[in-house]
Amino acid sequence: MYNLNPVTIAIIAVNVIVSLKGFDDRLFFEKYKFNVGSIRRGEQIRMFSSGFLHVDTTHLLFNMLTLYFFANAVIFALGQLNFIIIYVASLVFGNLLSLYFHKEEYWYSAVGASGAVTGILYAAILIRPEMNLYMFFVPIPIPGYIFGIGYLLYSIYGMKNRIGNIGHDAHFGGAVGGYVVTLMLMPSLFKTDLGHIGLLAIPIIILFVLYKTGKLH
């Protein structure tokens, strides 16, 4: 068991309270979800509020469990304030990337803390690339940096092929936000772990190349 930091508890609590409100109040859910048309009409609050709404309890539970497992690694290394900065920056960056790729799809909507949580996950991997992750369907531990690279490559695949009802672009944007902000807050990593920084940048470079060559969509 992990000892939860008060900041992590507070973020989980806000997610649970806002999500439960959204489950019971459809007007509330519709007012604060990510929606391209509404955001382009000036409702910028949705860029932030949508990160605390969820589709259902399974969606909420999965995101909060992921946050639970990786929050401490970031807080121990960077402190509570920087953890909050990474969380919020990843949430917003994920939605910004989603808005950019769907800017002409006025009907496009999304909710969830996935972008923010993915940013925390990527920050934790960047700080501790040697950490081992265990997946339900893989009986052996996976090095954190291998998981990070694989996750973002899958996100690119999901973005390119529109796989499932999943915001792959928000996941990717959140991870990039976590990656960039963590390096800004902890530049010493460039001296101690430049190799892993370079490896974790590979999916970001691939996405950029695919976009520039028009092969993303």
Model-level pTM?
0.88
Q: Which amino acid is at 122?
A: Y
Question: Has residue 45 got a pLDDT over 90?
Answer: yes
CB-based contact 142:92 (threshold 8 Å): no
Q: Kindly indicate the confidence band of residue 200, based on its pLDDT and cuts at 50, 70 and 90.
A: confident
The secondary structure element, H or E, covering residue 115 is helix 114-127
Per-residue model confidence (pLDDT) at position 167? 66
Q: pLDDT tens digits for 121-166?
A: 899 989 998 887 776 566 677 777 787 788 778 777 776 766 555 6
Question: Has residue 42 got a pLDDT over 90?
Answer: yes
Q: Alpha-carbon distance 30 to 32, whole Å?
A: 6
Domains assigned to the chain:
6-212 (1.20.1540.10)
CB-based contact 133:141 (threshold 8 Å): yes
Q: Average pLDDT in the 10-35 region?
A: 96
Distances (CA, A) of 146 to 74, 131, 203: 18, 10, 11
Say what angle helices 80-101 and 168-185 make with each other, to 10 degrees. 140
Question: Has residue 30 got a pLDDT over 70?
Answer: yes
Beta-bridge partners for 110: 34
Q: Alpha-carbon distance 168 to 174, whole Å?
A: 10
Q: pLDDT tens digits for 86-112?
A: 999 999 999 998 898 888 889 988 898
